[in-house]
Chains A and B, each alone.
Chain A
């Protein structure tokens, strides 16, 4: 096997693992009971899946086409920074706009803190 063949196998397997992780995140988005667990599934697994797929793309173009693409590296860094921030912001907006937790969840420390301060 030549170097190109081996590296294309590695790229294919990395991309396939990323796609399967994206499917896992989508299943979590449908099956989980409330919005906070859903954002847990959607944010983390989807971020890891898109990072794996972009890493596979970067390796493919770096080894086979001999082109180191700074755009893909920038895309990996940007997704890794912004996707958890987006998940945090939307979960916070959900809590403050009064979306209730799952009825079998037992801990809500933010609720006690909000009641003690008595504002908003």
Chain B
């Protein structure tokens, strides 16, 4: 019974990833796509957690933390690129 609940959750999270993919393709401006990619990364975290629940293994729990860090760094880098045009600024001298 709990397996039915977990499989339903995995399917629902996959559907929401696909819906976010629609926004990535269609989004009228660049920050729209970045927000949708950020949401896809966050949903990937929960999908990995649900898969590790279904398989009953603790081997994927590092992936959760790693995906969180990578999604945040990617979003910050894209935001800085959109706002200022560069990601890493040069030192003025």
Chain A residues at the B interface, C-beta cutoff of 8 Å: 8-9, 11-13, 15-16, 18-20, 22-23, 25-27, 29-30, 35, 38-39, 42-43, 46-47, 49-50, 53-54, 56-57, 60-61, 65, 67, 69, 71-72, 74-75, 78-79, 82-83, 85-87, 89-94, 96-97, 99
Contacts and interface: CB of A to CB of B under 8 A. Distances in A.
Interface in B34-59: 34-36, 38-39, 42-43, 45-46, 49-50, 52-53, 56, 58
Interface residues of B, number: 50
Interface of B: 1-2, 5-6, 8-10, 12-13, 15-17, 19-20, 22-23, 29-32, 34-36, 38-39, 42-43, 45-46, 49-50, 52-53, 56, 58, 61-62, 64-65, 68-69, 71-72, 75-76, 78-80, 82-83
B9 A72 contact: no
Given A22-B13, A30-B23, A78-B68, A90 B35 contact: yes
Nearest to B71: A86
Chain A interface, >50% SS class: helix
Chain B interface, >50% SS class: helix
Contact of B5 (A12, A39, A69, A99): A12
